[in-house]
A and B are shown apart, each in its own frame.
Chain A
């Protein structure tokens, strides 16, 4: 990775963000809001204080980074996991269930159980899409996306049924016991999951760039045909494994959210982390270390959006304009992403007679 390429990526990210913010400001101004006040609120909500930075920005960055890593891993092999939202919820359900059961356990095994069960749940949620893809060629974009709705319905079912809180009034679960909660940085709301996210980005980076499996995954992503014929790689197996890990990471993100932030399961637990995570990965051009930074950037946007709504009375969804513009700029700038949809069918060469 040369310096110039890194510079180029940074430049693309910066211009994408500037364009997004500029269009947001323009939109606010055109609809009669006080744009400078709104942007100030946005900034302060994200970076205005140590508390805002850790407890709003970094806190939201945790699921974004982990989901982004999972999305990037699958896309290295050419598969699009659009179902992180669903896998996140399934991980959250599993974490809540285990969390409620392990009240009398010591902290370390309790957290360990929650984290592993959430991870496994996310992977299991991916089993059906993987099977459909490898057995019948069903594209994973459709199957993972549709399973999001199933997962959301499952959450509703859980919080009104088996996992509903003891009084039976509110559609949410009981709070998980203290021993099932992740340790927190004193004076903030930032939990241990942030270190998980950092460590995972290094692990994913190492796996993708330094291991034989990661190399095979990239080969399958670049050319499944060449990977199979010249590399003797079982592309379906490699890709299926990557998709399972992708689901596992999203499930882990859901588990960490319950164990570190919400302490309970309820509907709309995720403000669309599963989809914003895609933008995070694309913005970092699938580079695991870059995902940490883009994850924090998007965490800041989400945090600032909340502040903007409180302080300037602007609907927080306005920030999605920025996210959308960022994705468009990145996709335009990256030819590899632009060609995602290109057909892999080989054309007959014109010289063949």
Chain B
């Protein structure tokens, strides 16, 4: 009997149709790799199988019985365990207590030490049970996640990018544990961006693209090149349509041997990056999440300091942050206030020199003008930003970035979560900005978008920046992003 089958799964997040009618079958005792680009729907699919997210349509069948999974607890009771993309341990609790928490055991009993020891032996991984979780290095934290997932009687293990933060040797060890689990009768799903790792470990491969299955079959029947083709789409071969800018102007961003620290954590995210962006051109950044592209963007925007090397940016810099509701806007502030937020240095509504004041009447009028010019659909400048649709919120963020007439525009995933029409409006704004002489640096997790909009493309993989040769085919760009031809298949850049 098949341990897990997903049938005709659909899922929407707002306007985004994240999963579009996916059938997914997990055979007994296999390691099943689930591959696809960012936003292809891999995590969503696994969250549905784990009861974290409910499908709009479709069935989750566990051991031949269709189940309406309402919570991870129900999934766990049916023998489904999951290792999440992000760490889920409580930092202040010890390893043993974290395991008890995940398994639903009492942390107080004298039995706990014995039980935890039993889990270590069964799983084939050991940790110091008394160490507080926050003291563990990254690799051991990840080990704890696996142990937690396997602590109870789990027969189906879902792993969401378990090796993303691991060095190759650590990743190999983790994959050995997964193999051992399947040899003992378990079944595992492995989401990963590391193609070689997937092909070396998995028995079966399923590839998702934009919420749909583009390939599903035994690993033996497929190679890395064809997986890539399935991942990034069938429109092949395709030379890049965007022509180089007519007359690129002065250099506005110049990086030489630039190192940038990992945002919010230790280690180096970007290493020896050398690139330049000129006035009037759009340079696209293509990268898989977590490869250092975020740090590159933020360093260019002046939000992260260079660790080593040189970075010259001729400002002012307009910045469009990736997450508009937590970084781009203050949802409960009015549209006027949100525009003032980024424009209280240059705008005409600021009065006085030493005691700088805001003329709110002028600000409201200015805001109304900006909303009109940038086609932000809103009842007026006084409504809270939270009341706007995602597309209009993004127009507002871009309007603010462009209103200060930046010489450099840095945009992170500016069309994320937008429908086609809103996305096209955003792309048109970026093109217009470049046309008017701004140096535009844009990152998108959608490779097609980058290829369509950028005059030049830089790939960031494993913290290294490489320029894509002109007229490269998109599958070549994809290969560069996934680092498939590199010696070390470790794009994480940790250490």
Binding site for B on A (CB under 8 A): 210-213, 215-216, 219, 222-223, 225-232, 336, 346, 348-353
Contacts of A352 in B (CB 8 A): 38-39, 43, 289
Most buried by A among B40, B47, B327, B340: B327
Additional A-B contact list (18), CB under 8 Å, known A229-B328, A231-B342, A351-B39: A210-B357, A212-B357, A215-B340, A215-B341, A219-B341, A222-B330, A223-B326, A223-B330, A226-B330, A229-B319, A230-B328, A348-B85, A348-B86, A350-B13, A352-B39, A353-B42, A353-B43, A353-B44
| Number of B residues, CB within 8 Å of A | 43
Chain A nearest CB, measured from B392 CB (Å) = 16
Q: Mark B25-46, 1 if CB is under 8 A from A, else 0.
A: 0000000000010111111100
Chain B nearest CB, measured from A343 CB (Å) = 12
Known: A216-B344, A223-B330, A350-B47. A229 touches B321 (CB 8 A): yes
Cβ contact within 8 Å between B328 and A213: no
Cβ contact within 8 Å between A219 and B39: no
**Chain A, residue nearest B445 (CB):** A352
Cβ contact within 8 Å between B53 and A350: yes
Most buried by B among A223, A230, A336: A230
A227 to B327, CA, bound (A): 8
Cβ contact within 8 Å between B323 and A351: no
Contacts of A210 in B (CB 8 A): 357-358, 360
Contacts of B329 in A (CB 8 A): 226, 230
Is B18 on the interface with A (CB-CB < 8 A)?
A: yes
Contacts of A230 in B (CB 8 A): 319, 321, 327-329, 341-342, 397, 400
Is B112 on the interface with A (CB-CB < 8 A)?
A: no
Q: Tell me the residues in window 318-340 of chain B with beta carbons closer than 8 Å to chain A beta carbons.
A: 319, 321, 323, 326-333, 337, 340
A229 to B302, CA, bound (A): 10
A229 to B329, CA, bound (A): 10
Contacts of A215 in B (CB 8 A): 337, 340-341, 344, 358
A234 to B13, CA, bound (A): 34
Cβ contact within 8 Å between B342 and A350: no
Known: A211-B356, A230-B342. A351 touches B417 (CB 8 A): yes
Chain B nearest CB, measured from A169 CB (Å) = 51
Contacts of B333 in A (CB 8 A): 219, 222
A13 to B402, CA, bound (A): 44
A349 to B39, CA, bound (A): 11
Contacts of A227 in B (CB 8 A): 330, 341
Q: Tell me the residues in window 17-74 of chain B with beta carbons closer than 8 Å to chain A beta carbons.
A: 18, 36, 38-44, 47, 53
A212 to B36, CA, bound (A): 47
**Chain A, residue nearest B43 (CB):** A353
A and B contact pairs by CB, cutoff 8 A, 24 listed: A210-B358, A211-B357, A212-B358, A215-B341, A219-B330, A222-B330, A225-B326, A226-B327, A226-B341, A229-B321, A230-B321, A230-B327, A230-B400, A232-B345, A349-B323, A350-B13, A350-B44, A350-B47, A350-B53, A351-B18, A351-B39, A351-B44, A352-B39, A353-B36
